[in-house]
Amino acid sequence: MESTNDKLCKHCGKPVVATLGSYDVQEQMHWLCFHLLFEHEGAPDRPCDDPSCPWWHIAAYESKLSQIGIDPKQVISEAIDEKWKPN
């Protein structure tokens, strides 16, 4: 069966959908696969110094939430309840 998207990531082999517009710029990979292979420095599960790093973005959100008096862990806990707990 013909897929609607035959652009596969050269790194992980899964279809590229969300960042298909920059598929060739990302060396025919997912944006995240490209970031982790070529831009991200240090452990893959820690923030790096690239301003596009998703871990760094999460850290920035956590920092700002804490500054305005909201516990980031509580935000996630409430989001988990909303998404997975039955009403």
Residue ranges in contact with Zn ion by CB under 5 A = 9, 11-12, 30, 33, 40, 48, 50, 53
Cβ neighbors of 9 (< 8 A, separation 6 or more) are: 15, 16, 28, 29, 30, 33
Q: What are phi and psi of 27, to 5 degrees?
A: 55, 40
Q: What are phi and psi of 24, to 5 degrees?
A: -75, -35
In the complex, least distance from residue 48 CB atom to Zn ion, rounded to whole angstroms: 3
In the complex, least distance from residue 42 CB atom to Zn ion, rounded to whole angstroms: 8
Kindly tell me which of 39 and 78 has the beta carbon lying closer to Zn ion.
39
In the complex, least distance from residue 14 CB atom to Zn ion, rounded to whole angstroms: 6
